[in-house]
Amino acid sequence: MLGWRRVVAPQKDDKTERLTPKYTDRVNGPIQSTAGDILYLALTKMREDLHPTAQFLMGVHDEIVLEVPEQNAEDAALWLHAKMREAFEEVLGPELGGPESVEVGYGPSWGELKDVAIETANAA
């Protein structure tokens, strides 16, 4: 979506004897690179407007993991929701955005996440 070029290695097509990229690589490339663009943009937005108690731990695929004191967890989750939603809508537009375009939760581990209510996130 942001105009990046992706080189896909050609493979020999058994039917035509031509070298062409696999169909799945050509279709999946724009999806994966757009998801990466959104993640990088969200990280940039987070850096530009830091949450006072959040510490970035890692990005995993399409997730951002923060460490936050327990009493600030919901506030930080709402802040993260806003940053991720801004990035999503900047890349894909507001018609594909909205409060449900991003899911955010908080808890002591991935297995014990509490989802942030959409209505609460929309008000932030």
101 exposed, middle or buried (CB, 10 Å; 0-12, 13-18, 19+)?
middle
Query: What's the whole-model pTM score?
Result: 0.77
At residue 118, the pLDDT reads 62
At residue 119, the pLDDT reads 60
Average pLDDT of adjacent 10-residue blocks, the chain of 124 residues: 74 76 79 88 93 92 91 94 94 90 90 77 44
At residue 121, the pLDDT reads 43
Contacts of 116 (CB under 8 A, 6+ apart): 74, 77, 78, 81, 104, 105, 106
